[in-house]
Amino acid sequence: MMEQGLCTLGDHVADPVTGIRTSQAERHQNIREYLQMAEPLGFDAIVVGEHHFSDFIVSVPQIFLGWMAGQTKKMRLATGVTLLPHHDAVRLAEDFATLDVVSEGRAEIWVGKGVEPKVYDYFGQRADEAADRQQEGLELLVKLWTEQDLHWQGQYRPPLAGVTLEPRTVQNPHVPIYVSCSNPASAVVPAKLGLNLVMTGLAFDLDQLQPMISTYKEEWDKAGHKHQPRITMLAHVHVGETSQEAISHLQKYQFDFQRWVFSKRFGMAPDEVQLPPRITDLGDPHCVIAVGSASQVQDKIAQLCELSECDRFVYQGDYGGQPWSVVKDSLQRYGADVLPLVKQLPVQV
């Protein structure tokens, strides 16, 4: 059965149609309501992002997830993503072990390097060290959760001498770790370490999925891991009453939002950004966004799941300043008309 998750990154931008920007308090209230809809609609996981200093107003997803642990019974609780290079792996190990305990074994940590190079300056770091910092952090997380009386020395934090992390995780051998990847080279480290993979087509064209998955699985097999790899695919989703209504709506919100995001990534003004066809050609087979009627969204998700060989699909729908009522209507249509069918999609192992 194909698992399904619901993601928010917590962006807080003005509605490009009305020019109205909600208060931060109202945006947080809408995020909480959005996440609370997940379990009744049949989702298996909720995913909350992390950003800093950039009009994404969720900076500590662990707090949201800890709150959601008390609001839900079965949901997996994941970050999408934790910016591991900015953090001490010891403190993250404590945070997520605690989340695992209070949720009775439902915590996950998704990690990534982020897409805003200037944030590294704010943390007193160098962006060109991001990959090395992340790999060191990943290796240390696993050791902290699986070993006791740990003696360790690395490059980016002080050494550890005889440390046993507490509390211990409920899940065995540890809290699941997913690593965000956007090209074949980035899939090598998680494969060698026996960690899971998460991707979004917003970061690359769909023809890059197969090379990435092939690299990941080849490196996984070379490493000789005994457990099965897990792969998650995330996409922007909007379900309308009709195809025309859905595309007409999203054209007003998707493009301005993506120009804003790309401008942060590449350090340019939003009006200088030229968006790739995978984002602008809504409704075309090469588009990475699931938009349209319920049946069209179902078909697009089936395509994304087949190409990515994933066992979990994650819906992201509350972005770009869209009116909360429209976000909620799309999510409810998805839960009623799409989610049950997507769950029946075949899973490749």
Can you give the pLDDT at residue 287? 97
Containing structural domain, residue 66: 3-238+294-342
Can you give the pLDDT at residue 2? 98
In angstroms, the CA 261 to CA 11 distance is 10
- CATH number of the domain that 82 lies in? 3.20.20.30
Please state, for a pLDDT cut of 70, what percent of the chain lies above it.
100
Buried-state track 260-272, b at ≥16 Cβ within 10 A, e below 16: bbbebeeeeeeee
Confirm whether 43 is domain-assigned: yes
Beta strand 231-239 with 290-292 is parallel
Confirm whether 288 is domain-assigned: no
Confirm whether 159 is domain-assigned: yes
Can you give the pLDDT at residue 348? 80
Can you give the pLDDT at residue 288? 97
The number of folded domains in the chain is 1
**pTM higher than 0.95, yes or no?**
yes
What are the pLDDT digits (tens) for 232-274?
Answer: 999 999 999 999 999 999 999 999 999 999 998 888 999 999 9
What are the pLDDT digits (tens) for 64-98?
Answer: 999 999 999 999 999 999 999 999 999 999 999 99
In angstroms, the CA 315 to CA 296 distance is 15
Q: What is the mean pLDDT of residues 317-343?
A: 98
Confirm whether 269 is domain-assigned: no
Query: CA distances (Å), 31 to each of 40, 53, 185, in order?
Result: 16, 19, 34
What are the pLDDT digits (tens) for 32-56?
Answer: 999 999 999 999 999 999 999 989 9
Confirm whether 136 is domain-assigned: yes
